Structures are given as C-alpha cells and as structure tokens.
Structure 1
Amino acid sequence: MIDYRYLGRSALKVSPLCLGTMMFGQQTPDDEAFRILDKARERGINFLDTADVYNGGNSEQVVG
C-alpha cells in the first residue's frame, strides 16, 4: 500500500514515486510505454512527469 501525500497545499494526493516519461513517444516504443504505464498504475503510482518539450510533445500524446 502506498502512503499518498498531498501535493503542496492542494487537496491532490499523489504517490511519493513519480514516473518519468521523457523517453516515451520516441526512444520507448508505444507498446512498451503502455505496459510501463499499466504497471505503474497497478502499483498505485499516480504521479507522472511529462512535458510538451519531451520528444516534441509525443510523450504527452502517449500518456494521454
């Protein structure tokens, strides 16, 4: 069980681990990225690091 934490002063609760997605959308094939996302979600990780500059925005397309 994960001990979720509040994000700053907001009411959002996030996992203490963050999944980085910088390699999604180019270096990591989509099927592998989807498996990684599924496994992270199964384990309670709900905190993702993505940005519109990661692989020209393709990372955000993969993450959704």
Structure 2
Amino acid sequence: MAKLLAPEPGNRLNDPTCGSGSLLIKLAKEVGSDNFSLYGQEVNGSTWALARMNMFLHEIDNATIEWEIL
C-alpha cells in the first residue's frame, strides 16, 4: 500500500485508523527524507500507545497520533 500511494517529500500523510502505525512507518521509509508529516488516529487506547511507541522506536519525530475517544 505504501508503494502504491507513492509518497513524496513535503507530503502530509494521514491514516485515520492507524492501529499500531505500521503503514505510517512504511510511508515514512518510502519518502526517503525527513520532509513529511504523519497523522494518525486510533480509538483503542492500548493500540494508540503502541503506535506512539513505534514512532519513537523508529525515530519518526514528525508524527502526530491522536487518541479518538468515542
């Protein structure tokens, strides 16, 4: 999916149901630079925490992951 979207530097990339954030991480790697912004949201608190931890572990500082409480 990340290759199909063909992200480019300067893009703002959004995943409204990001889960653990793996697609966002693949998109970040596909861009090939630090010139992008990632946005995601998750309704499950445990999964939201996992997504934030994954961004930290993969050294992706330009990601905003929100916890959408219903």
Query: Which is bigger in relative contact order (C-alpha 8 A, separation at least 6)?
Result: 1
For normalisation by structure 1, the TM-score amounts to: 0.39
More strand by share: 2
Find the structure with the greater CA-based Rg: 1
